[in-house]
Amino acid sequence: MDFGFSQKSLDLQERLKAFMNKYVYPNEKIHHEQIKASGNPHHHAEIVDVLKEKAKEEGLWNLFLPDTNYGAGLTNLEYAPMAEIMGRVIWASEVFNCSAPDTGNMEILTQFGTEEQKETWLKPLLEGKIRSAFSMTEPDIASSDATNIQMYIRRDGDEYVVNGRKWFISGAARERCKLLITMGKTDPLNPEKHHQQSMVIIPVNTPGVTIKRAIPVFGNVGNEGHCEIIYEDARVPITNILGEEGGGFAIAQARLGPGRIHHCMRSIGAAQRALEMMCQRATRRVAFGKALAEQGVVQDWIAQSRVEIEMTRLLTLKAAWMMDTVGKKAAQDEIAMIKIIAPELHTTVLNRAIQLFGAAGVSDDFPLAEQWVYGRTLHLADGPDEVHKRSLARSCLRQWGNIK
């Protein structure tokens, strides 16, 4: 169990921190204002393109991709601290072409894509020229169990005909989003429930595809947009299948692990930054005749936050290390564990920070409010906490007896 970072990772961390200090933090306000000024919540802030060029120049690009041909070739453990650093600013990952859902999509394109698919979709994604969405969740079923998915992908000669409704498809409202990697059933009657599904690449502008709306989440449609999408007889050539027919479930599984590490590490980054902001504010702000830093309840919040952050970080590093050394399957309990605890950390620490900041904490003058609300969605994204607790408990229990 060695969580020590390689020299390569340590170097990249230093360069990434320097980049954040020099380019990202100073531009948080501008990012916010550019979107606001545009009048379009899904507007691509101009500053992001400026920063992307700089990040590319500095080699801080595609760090998430373990593949050495297409990406930085870092292990999960090596990349984890990078995700933490990026997570300190809610939009920073994109600057380094490391933002969801593109990261997961690039991974599966790398692993399962044909040469043509790679040329058409992976290449511009790796270059940061286009964006993508992952179209899986459906409104009418409990999507946390992917076998429930109902969308029908019917083969018709050389084409697939896609019908169904998806929602909370993040990123689909972005101007640059060009493709929807879409999961549906090509073989709904297959007795093997895990071989009914397939994934196909559907260009956003395919006739029959309607992005109905970006669903407001806590009152905001968000920059990326969590979209409801209607597919009515949308047709794509059969060459648009990703991997094999019937292989959709397996690809979805393959996509999961690293994405969870990234999400959790970003949550840790968000919490860590909130802790630092709490400390800074507490030493400068006076109430009832003494600095907030001198007040017992504030000290309690700070101490608890520090402990919880450090524990969650270690657990996430362990999960990453296990994925690297024994593989995703053997690491599935650890992955469930971080999926359970990281959203809790995210909302708990941010909530304390907001309380310490008072009215300023709920305002948009600081990034706390946005991060807290975002954290709340993570208790549900990729399945509600309770589903992961159930899986983990059953895995524990199975060592002691039969579980139905």
Q: Hey, which residues between 289 and 318 contact a copy of itself (CB under 8 A)?
A: 291, 293-300, 302-304, 306-307, 310-312, 314-315, 317-318
Cis link prior to 139 (omega < 30° from 0)? no
* Count of residues that bind a copy of itself according to CB under 8 A: 91
Residues between 148 and 167 that touch a copy of itself (CB under 8 A): 167
Q: 26 is written with which tokens?
A: 């100073």
∠ Cα 140 143 145 (to 5°):
130
Cis link prior to 66 (omega < 30° from 0)? no
CB of 142 to a copy of itself, least distance (A): 4
Q: Is-contact 251 199, C-beta < 8 A? A: yes
**H helical segments located in 114-247:** 115-117, 123-126
Nearer to a copy of itself, 251 or 275 (CB): 275
Nearer to a copy of itself, 195 or 213 (CB): 213
- Choosing from 50, 90, 230, 373, the residue that interacts with a copy of itself (CB under 8 A) is 373
Nearer to a copy of itself, 144 or 163 (CB): 144
CB of 328 to a copy of itself, least distance (A): 18
Look up residue 238 and give its DSSP letter: G
Question: What is the rounded distance in angstroms from the CA atom of residue 148 to the CA atom of residue 128?
Answer: 33
Nearer to a copy of itself, 102 or 138 (CB): 138
Stretch that binds a copy of itself, among 68-76, 153-161, 260-268, 380-388 (CB under 8 A): 380-388
Q: 271 is written with which tokens?
A: 């919490």
Stretch that binds a copy of itself, among 120-128, 185-193, 200-208, 377-385 (CB under 8 A): 377-385
CB of 32 to a copy of itself, least distance (A): 9
Reference 335, options 373, 383, 372, 376; nearest CA is: 383
Reference 94, options 124, 72, 119, 61; nearest CA is: 61
Q: Is-contact 235 208, C-beta < 8 A? A: yes
Question: What is the rounded distance in angstroms from the CA atom of residue 286 to the CA atom of residue 339?
Answer: 37
Nearer to a copy of itself, 110 or 348 (CB): 348
Question: What is the rounded distance in angstroms from the CA atom of residue 186 to the CA atom of residue 254?
Answer: 19
- In sign, the C-alpha dihedral spanning 80, 106, 42, 202 is negative
Q: Is-contact 184 152, C-beta < 8 A? A: yes
Nearer to a copy of itself, 71 or 269 (CB): 269
CB of 67 to a copy of itself, least distance (A): 26
Residues between 79 and 118 that touch a copy of itself (CB under 8 A): none
Alpha carbon of 371 to those of 91, 118, 212, 329, 375: distances in Å? 11, 34, 26, 31, 6
Residues between 317 and 336 that touch a copy of itself (CB under 8 A): 317-318, 333-334, 336
Residues between 164 and 183 that touch a copy of itself (CB under 8 A): 167-168
Nearer to a copy of itself, 117 or 312 (CB): 312
β-bridge mates for residue 287, sequence order: 290
Residues between 338 and 367 that touch a copy of itself (CB under 8 A): 340-341, 351, 354-355, 358-365
CB of 369 to a copy of itself, least distance (A): 5
**Helices 296-325, 332-357: crossing angle, 10 deg rounding:** 160
Residues between 4 and 23 that touch a copy of itself (CB under 8 A): 4-5
- Choosing from 6, 40, 190, 220, the residue that interacts with a copy of itself (CB under 8 A) is 220
- Choosing from 212, 369, 375, 382, the residue that interacts with a copy of itself (CB under 8 A) is 369
Alpha carbon of 375 to those of 25, 32, 171, 277, 344: distances in Å? 20, 19, 17, 17, 8
Nearer to a copy of itself, 2 or 57 (CB): 2
Q: Kindly state whether residue 142 participates in binding a copy of itself, applying the rule CB under 8 A.
A: yes
CB under 8 Å to 294, separation ≥6 — which residues?
Answer: none
Residues between 240 and 299 that touch a copy of itself (CB under 8 A): 275-276, 279-280, 282-284, 286-288, 291, 293-299
